[in-house]
Structure 1
Amino acid sequence: MNINEWQTYLVTAASRSAGRTTPEVVAAALDGGVDVVQLRDKARTARERYETGHRLRELTAAAGVPLLVNDRIDLAAAVDADGVHLGQSDLPTSVAREQLGEDAVVGVSASTVEQARAAEDAGADYLGVGAVYGTDSKDVSDDRNGVGTDRIAAVADAVEVPVIGIGGIDASNAAPVVDAGATGVAALSAITAAADLESATVELAEAVADV
């Protein structure tokens, strides 16, 4: 698994999937060439995410694509995911390593250079940096919502691990994020809410690949 090859990263959101199930969305995104999938679906219960996670594990394994779980180390272990993505208020990277093993992928959200350096020092494999363009998909304060591509550049210059830009990104604005130094981009609504899921994934992948 080479995180430096992660150009398109899907974050699931059942509430923003136009009535389609998360497995339906993920299957279409995989057909469109997405590089990594993160099970988020925070509005769902732990049991629902567990059941969904098992189905996503089947789909991603068949496609040879990594599956990560947002926040929940226990859920990542339960569905045999490839790793976990942690926020600043979640359990430390060291706990994820202890519970999931040294080979697990551990990503960490960072909005500032200081947070990024701390996460790298703690052993994060990659950083999710944003929200780049601003988003209402998560509860973040104004100083972390719409940090811009300059912040992507600053973080990318400050750390050695891959940087994934996230927040308000779609095919129309993905290129500047990668041009600023991100390895790739993470999308939520740009894929999950699209009328044609597979085409939306292809368009995002092409926008990143063309940089």
Structure 2
Amino acid sequence: MPEAVGKTLRGLYAITPEGLASSTLLAQVGAALEGGAGFVQYRDKSQDAARRADTARALLSLCKEFGARLLINDDLALALAVNADGVHLGATDGDLQAARQALGADALLGASCYADFDRARAAVLAGVDYVAFGAVYPSATKPQAELAPWSLFTRCRSELRVPACAIGGITVNRARPLLAAGADLLAVIGDLFEAPDVAARAAAYQQLFEEEHREFS
């Protein structure tokens, strides 16, 4: 089972693709959860606020069925409105310290830190629960993204002592070295939701986490 209880942050972090009908999105996220994803981030940049809220509530209900956590991408107001499990903010998406105060101590707060360790250090001081580095591989979602050195994960574990999330171009065949480097969460979009069997692909990721845990326990 994914480690999604309390604030233990480790496992497959499913980032929702944009442009899907809500019914299709819910079916695919359900498959990812069935396969073992412990965390879902709802990412939707559209301007249809009502639809986004409805979809977020449906995703939250689905996540609760599987004991998983739902975070909202870049929208603190939406996360608060639907009582999501947390929010993930990029560099221009709001003040982290203010978000922590609004969310309270129990909700999850994550921050995009790209390839910038100083940004990660500041994010930790602001109260985040995890930091995200990437792109770790060339990414079709953000092709212009600067590649983040994997040493960031090792430094994060030893110096900051908070979970680190890897994002960008991750596939199940490329994932194992990231775990070895110190990544605690693997944020995946295309390799998960474009797989012919989403549940099986999620299970393959979960198996990597279980194998890595056995190796180092």
The two structures have a TM-score, normalised by structure 2, of 0.87
Percent identity at matched positions?
35
- Residue type of the alignment partner of 1:54: R
How far is 1:154 from its partner?
3.3
Q: Is the 8 A contact 2:38 2:67 kept in 1?
A: no
The 5 A counterparts of 1:31-70 are 31-43=34-46, 45-70=48-73
Match of 1:189 in 2: 190
Asked if residue 97 in structure 1 is aligned to residue 95 in structure 2, the reply is no
Match of 1:117 in 2: 121
The 5 A counterparts of 1:21-40 are 21-40=24-43
Q: Is the 8 A contact 2:172 2:204 kept in 1?
A: yes
Q: Is the 8 A contact 2:110 2:128 kept in 1?
A: yes
Gaps of 5+ in 2: 213-217
Q: Any idea what SS the aligned residue of 2:128 has?
A: coil
Q: Is the 8 A contact 1:14 1:20 kept in 2?
A: no
Q: Is the 8 A contact 2:131 2:165 kept in 1?
A: yes
Q: Any idea what SS the aligned residue of 2:150 has?
A: helix
- Residue type of the alignment partner of 1:132: V
Asked if residue 11 in structure 1 is aligned to residue 15 in structure 2, the reply is yes
How far is 1:102 from its partner?
2.2
| Distance in structure 1 (CA, Å) of the matches to 2:153 and 2:184 | 10
Q: Any idea what SS the aligned residue of 2:71 has?
A: strand
- Residue type of the alignment partner of 1:91: G
How far is 1:20 from its partner?
6.8
Gaps of 5+ in 1: none
Which structure 1 residue ranges, 4+ long, deviate > 4 Å from structure 2?
17-20
| Distance in structure 2 (CA, Å) of the matches to 1:123 and 1:178 | 24
| Distance in structure 2 (CA, Å) of the matches to 1:164 and 1:105 | 13
- Residue type of the alignment partner of 1:194: A
Q: Is the 8 A contact 1:9 1:38 kept in 2?
A: yes
- 1:39–1:99 CA distance, 2 compared to 1 (3 A): same
Number of aligned residues: 207
| Distance in structure 2 (CA, Å) of the matches to 1:97 and 1:151 | 24
- Residue type of the alignment partner of 1:89: T
- 1:190–1:110 CA distance, 2 compared to 1 (3 A): same
Q: Any idea what SS the aligned residue of 2:166 has?
A: strand
